[in-house]
Chains A and B, each alone.
Chain A
Amino acid sequence: MKKRIACLLALLCFGVSVMAQQKTVTIATVNNPAMIELKKLSPKFEAANPDIKLNWVVLEENVLRQRVTTDVSTGSGQFDLVFIGLYETPIFAKRGWLKEISNIPVEYDIEDVFKPLRDGLSYEGKLYALPFYGESSMLMYRKDLFDAKGLVMPEQPTYDDIKKFAAALTDKAKGIYGITLRGKPGWGENMAYFDTVVNTFGGQWFDEEWKPTLDTQEWRNALTFYVNLLKEYGPPGASSNGFNENLALFAKGKAAMWIDATSGAGPLFDKEQSQVADKVAFANAPIAVTPNGSRWLWSWAFAIPKAAKQGDAARKFALWATSKEYVSLVAADTGWPTVPPGTRKSTYDSPEYQQAAPFAKVTLAAMQAADPTKPTLKPVPYTGIQFVGVPEFQSFGTVVGQNIAGVLTGQMTVDQALKANQTAVERAARQARYGKK
């Protein structure tokens, strides 16, 4: 009997000591497919690191952003690892809320990660987040519909080309719309796309003295073009279509063209989800007056809050999840088209990827060409292609997005919207004291 008790006690002590050493890393993530896949594969990491346990908090994007910002800004330490975007990273880093990611092991090959991403996730030369996946924007189109009408998509289309194609391909009686674009209001929704239109038409948000420039001719051209294109050749209810709705529309075969995130390509190839898997082709996002800022740059990246309790364990996981080995892991699990796109050159160099993902070439070109420091025709004091890298952008960007949606639904004219936009950004700039540093 005594022996048994002794054994039990020993086991208990052992168990307790293991648990005591066990570090729990709480991760806040967005609910995109790539992250869900990461969560699914993460037991492999836990098996290789038995002293680390991962706790996942999965939330949709808007909710996640609010939750993470609240936590990180108040130093609450609720999360050890958070997913943030290209937009927040410099802002958080500037405030000193993130742990610097330094001493990266050589095997990780940080040079393999695309430079625009590395730069975008750094502040004053120091890296603060590791990109998990990156995306730009491109044009997706129905090769079958183009062939049927004898149309050929150039490698670098212009918006004039797009208008011609849309006119030729729209057949509302059959429920085919020439083009579908984001219309749902939001700084990361319709504004992400529309900002690239403004950029390529030569417009910008602020001039070099931080004066808002939203009532300029370039903005007028961009807005008029966008609204007319959607009104004539787009689906009804465009003002409530965001990424998901457009993906659904295109996947069901209702649109001939779609300009949106490069990450939209993957689901289109999935026969389970898409009815057009074998009919999709890709081209660069269209340009107008200038190619600057015509393709956006975005990344979801791992960052470690300053107040994180398990910063080291979190860092270990982040390095694992963004490594070349992880890419191979995903390829083995769900196939090459689903590996985290847009982060590492090595992924794009791999012949398997090139073969399995026809969108790889265009994505690669877009990722390498997108330069957030030169998003516009003329120089600007801010960085960011499809956003303005200031904290207030979340607010005034959405207000502008709402006004633009208002033009789409006919509740405002182009001029009214431009004026309202200018007023909104002027007020925001005044409140936040831009240009008075």
Chain B
Amino acid sequence: MKQSILSKWLTTIAGWGVALIVFFPIFWMTLTAFKTEKQAYSPDIFFTPTLQSFRDVFARSDYLTFALNSIYVSIGSTLLCYLFAFPAAYRMAFYPTAKTQDTLLWMLSTKMMPSVGVLIPIYLLFKTGGILDNIWGLIVIYALMNLPIAVWMAYTYLCEVPPAILEAARIDGANIWGELWHVLRPIALPGLTSTALLLIILSWNEAFWSINLTSAKAAPLTVFIASYSSPEGLFWAKLSGASVLAVAPILVMGWLCQKQLVSGLTFGAVK
């Protein structure tokens, strides 16, 4: 597609400008992680960096346990969620019925109850089931909470698949697995991967249930952060350090997924 040099420059500047502005608070937080508590409140950009806050964080908390729990819960719940969501989305996208829209809306309505209204009922359920402070309890509850989102988004991306392709494949004699692997995957993969990434992030950052339903063993990074926010006294550098540590694994995961997401797939497949 032809683009004049000027418009190319304009888009580059605009794109990067927005990116830098949006990213700035995170940049600032990361910077603060390398300051001392005393410096943390000042706006200096140039200072001698120190790893003190990270050292404090590692000395104070068992970061690895929290991080591993977060990883298990996010990935575990996303996989479990997909297990249920993908067939449903497939069915709704390719074999919709009159009830499909209603079902989708109903699924979304299961998320309408705010967590604060339902803390005690859920807590009692978990207590009776003996799955308090249990990593599987968290995985299951997150999978259930994210199921409507997963179905909606997978449905949306699967709807993008031109039916002509599927038909062509079937005429060529492909069975369901061939259809999935060879035809559907290349087209829907970016969408499905971005859905997976979003689900992982939602699970990663979910604080209310993860704090209330765990104590020592299954606690993920949200509990870790809750031990650094708003204590008595100065805490900025440590909180920034803890936040950097809490965001790092998922940023890495996101960057790896980037390749799947933005690999500029075109749909020449249609032709």
Contacts and interface: CB of A to CB of B under 8 A. Distances in A.
Q: Do chains A and B touch in the complex (CB under 8 A)?
A: yes
B234 A70 contact: no
B233 A78 contact: no
Among B36, B60, B219, B231, max chain A CB count under 10 A is at: B231
Interface stretch (A24-32, A370-378, A387-395): A24-32
Contacts of B119: 70
A39 B60 contact: yes
Nearest to B60: A36
B2 interface: no
20 contacts: A31-B231, A32-B233, A33-B231, A33-B233, A39-B60, A40-B59, A40-B60, A55-B216, A57-B219, A58-B60, A59-B223, A60-B228, A60-B231, A67-B215, A70-B123, A70-B212, A74-B124, A244-B232, A248-B234, A273-B38
Contacts of B60: 36, 39-40, 58
Nearest to B61: A58
B183 interface: no
A334 interface: no
B233 A244 contact: yes
A272 B38 contact: yes
A62 B227 CA distance: 11
B111 to A, nearest CB: 22
Given A57-B215, A59-B223, 12 more contacts: A28-B215, A40-B60, A58-B227, A62-B230, A63-B211, A76-B132, A244-B230, A244-B233, A247-B232, A267-B233, A272-B36, A272-B37
Contacts, number: 87
B185 interface: no
A57 B60 CA distance: 11
B212 A263 contact: no
Interface residues of A, number: 38
A263 B132 contact: no
Interface string B225-261: 0111111111100000000000000000000000000
A71 B212 CA distance: 9
B126 to A, nearest CB: 9
A258 B120 CA distance: 40
B41 interface: yes
A14 interface: no
Contact of B223 (A57, A66, A76, A78): A57
Interface string A186-210: 0000000000000000000000000
A166 B12 CA distance: 54
Interface in A264-306: 264, 267, 272-273, 275
B212 A67 contact: yes
B232 A79 contact: no
B127 interface: yes
Nearest to B222: A63
B228 A57 contact: no
Closest 3 CB pairs of A and B: A58-B227, A31-B231, A55-B216
Contacts of A267: 233-234
Nearest to A30: B231
Nearest to A34: B232
A76 B127 contact: yes
A60 B227 contact: yes
A108 interface: no
Interface in A26-76: 26, 28, 30-33, 36, 39-40, 55-63, 66-67, 70-71, 74, 76
A59 B60 CA distance: 12
Given A58-B227, A60-B227, A243 B215 contact: no
A134 to B, nearest CB: 14
A78 B133 contact: yes
Nearest to A271: B38
Contacts of A70: 119-120, 123, 212
B211 A67 contact: yes
Contacts of B41: 248, 252
Contact of A273 (B37, B123, B127): B37
A55 B216 CA distance: 7
Contacts of B216: 26, 55-57
A148 B175 CA distance: 90
Interface string B15-53: 000000000000000000000111001000000000000
A75 to B, nearest CB: 8
B233 A247 contact: yes
A273 B233 contact: yes
Interface in B190-209: none
Contacts of A30: 231
A61 B124 CA distance: 23
**Which of B37, B219, B227, B233 is most buried by chain A, counting CB atoms within 10 A of its CB?**
B233
A318 to B, nearest CB: 17
Contacts of B127: 74, 76
A30 B231 CA distance: 8
A59 B223 CA distance: 7
B117 to A, nearest CB: 14
A39 B216 CA distance: 14
A66 B233 contact: no
B223 to A, nearest CB: 7
Nearest to B126: A76
A31 B215 contact: no
Contacts of A263: 232
A55 B235 CA distance: 23
B230 A74 contact: no
Contact of A59 (B59, B211, B232, B233): B211
Contact of B234 (A32, A57, A66, A273): A273
B54 to A, nearest CB: 16
Nearest to A39: B60
Contacts of A62: 230
Contacts of B120: 70, 74
A336 to B, nearest CB: 18
Contacts of A60: 226-231
A36 B223 CA distance: 16
Nearest to B236: A248
A36 B132 CA distance: 25
